[in-house]
Amino acid sequence: MRKIGLVVAMAILIGLASGCGKVQSRERAAKEQGGQSASAGNAQSVEGCVIRRESAFYIQPATGDKTKLNSGGQDLDSHVGKNVRVSGNMNNSGSQSGNAQSSTGATGTDTGAAEPELLVTRVDVIADSCPPEIQRRADADKNKSNTK
């Protein structure tokens, strides 16, 4: 009887020890993921056409509003008029000073209103030309801007 009690006690201790290890592993994984998600919490990918308005670059998706792009060292000029997927981190502060200058080389004709900006880390070309529906949206937006 005593041997059975000892075996059961040992099994319980082993089970507890392995359970604690799993909990610690889960906690460690959650901390690591939390650190990654904090740094990648504003990471995004947007698919659409790269357009240029004066000295600024934007991506015009098939639906939704265009998003200003901060080149982040990427050559956006060579992608104008192409259907691409851009990846990067969204800067919701839309700071007008450093980011706008670094993305365009000049501040252009900023209206003073801050707009969100995607700091581009990667550009993947989907097609060498914009789909007609996106091109129509970009043209309509350009015409609307020209009438102001």
pLDDT band, residue 9 (cuts 50/70/90): confident
Residues 87, 125 contacting (CB under 8 angstroms)? no
98-129 residue pLDDT tens: 333 334 443 344 445 668 899 999 999 999 99
Res 116: pLDDT: 85
Tell me the domain boundaries of the chain: 1-41, 43-146
| Dist. CA 31–CA 97, nearest whole Å | 34
Multiple choice CATH, 43-146, 2.60.40, 2.40.10, 2.40.50, 3.30.43: 2.40.50
44-96 residue pLDDT tens: 999 999 999 989 999 999 998 999 999 988 899 999 999 999 999 998 754 44
Res 129: pLDDT: 95
pLDDT band, residue 138 (cuts 50/70/90): confident
Which comes out higher in pLDDT, residue 18 or 110? 18
Res 107: pLDDT: 38
